[in-house]
Structures are given as structure tokens and as C-alpha cells.
Amino acid sequence: MTSDAPALSVCVFCGSRPGADPAYAEAAETFGTALAQEGWRLVYGAGDVGLMGGVARAAQAAGGETFGVIPVHLLHAEVGKRDLTNFVVTENMHERKKVMFMNSDAVVVLPGGAGTLDEFFEILTWAQLGLHAKPIILLNTSGFWTPLVALVDHVIERGFAAETLRALVTLAENPAAAMQALRAHEGQASSARS
């Protein structure tokens, strides 16, 4: 990254569990390291467990800047990681999502559960409504998000969304592909931040 290139802040939504496939944690760590090496800031849910903890520890170990946001009721359950560059405690989940989104230029979604799905669909809905143009990337480790993409396609085919909905999401099969997709948007960083 050149000194005059804008630095990205990348929001990562992901699970507070590691998942059943070790490839999920491995990809999270690889991605966290790659963000730091690129000079980009990780914005995430501030937990020190599951994929959240893995991506953050990897980014920190590689010298990256970290911005964590956690609601007060999850400080214990998700083991709030207080050694981050920035650590923000919110009153609720909705405020957490808003703070994470407002402090990022792009969104990358790693494997996760209901909370991750909630985060993905809210950000996707905002994009569909024209409220933002930030890239949304699904890191499809071991094909984890393939059924979700099929569901989005099904929603379109059944007439509940325009064809343009699918174009709002980029599917990246591995961390390197996710980084490549982010680099394509790096030049738009300053205009993407709202």
C-alpha cells in the first residue's frame, strides 16, 4: 500500500463460535492477518471467542488496527476483547451494527449463525434501499454461504426482489479472493464512508 492510498476500514461480521470445520477458523485468521498486512483496519464485534476472536488476534499479531464494538449484555458471553485499538460498548445489538457499519468502508461476512445472518441481511437491505454503496463480500469458506446465495437467487426468481439484489453481493471463495475484491474498492474508500 502506498502512503497516499486511502486506508480501508473493513467491517467483519462472523460467528462467536469456531464452527464444525477447522477451515473456518483458519480462513478467519488468514483474513485478519491479510487485513493488517494491507494496512487496513478491522472493525468487528469485539469478542474474543470463535471466529471473532480469531480474526482479531490474527490482525493484532500482524500489527493491525482493530476497532471492536460490543453490546453491554454480551461483554461476558463474548469475552469483550479490551486490548483493541478502539473498544466501544453499546446499549444494544442494533446500535452495535450501526456503529460497526458507520465506521467501515466495506463489509465482509465470514461463517456464523443467526446473529451473522441478521447482520448480513440488514446491511443487504440497506444497500437494496440505496442507503449505501459499500461492497458486501461473503467469504465462502468450504462453501458455507452457497446455500445462502441460492436462497437470495430463489427470492429473486419468485418475484420478491429485483435481479439487482444479487449484484449487491460478491462471493469470495477464500481470503485472497476477498482481499482482491476489497482492493477493487479501495480507491472509493473516502466516498464510501458515510
The answer to whether residue 3 is domain-embedded is no
Give the per-residue pLDDT at 8. 94
**CA dist., res. 50 & res. 113, Å (int):** 11
Q: What confidence score (pLDDT) does residue 80 get?
A: 77
Q: Which contiguous run of DSSP H or E holds residue 59?
A: helix 50-61
CATH number for the domain harbouring residue 138: 3.40.50.450
Full DSSP string of 74-118: GTTTTT--TTSSEEEEESSHHHHHHHHHHT-SEEEE-S--HHHHH
Best CA proximity match to 38, nearest among 67, 57, 63: 63
Asked whether residue 22 is domain-assigned, the answer is yes
Cβ atoms of residues 139 and 172 within 8 Å: yes
Q: Is 135 inside a domain boundary?
A: yes
At 6 the pLDDT is: 47
pLDDT at 189: 54
| Confidence (pLDDT) at 82 | 84
CB under 8 Å to 115, separation ≥6 — which residues? 15, 16, 93
By CB atoms closer than 10 A (0-12, 13-18, 19+), residue 174 is middle
Tell whether 64 is covered by a domain.
Answer: yes
Q: Would 23 be classed as within a structural domain?
A: yes
Q: Cell digits for 72?
A: 453491554
- pLDDT per 10-residue tile (average), the chain, 194 residues: 64 97 98 97 94 97 95 82 87 93 97 97 97 97 98 98 96 98 76 45
What pLDDT is recorded for position 193?
Answer: 45
β-pair partners for 66? 42
- Say if residue 187 is exposed, middle or buried (CB neighbours under 10 Å; 0-12, 13-18, 19+): exposed
pLDDT of residue 34: 98
Angle (nearest 5°) at CA 181 between 180 and 183? 65
Q: 194 lies in a domain?
A: no
pLDDT at res. 108: 98
| Amino acid 111: pLDDT | 98
Whether residue 35 lies inside any domain: the answer is yes
Does any domain span residue 41? yes
* Domains of the chain: total: 1
Task: Tell me which residue range forms the domain holding 171.
Answer: 9-185
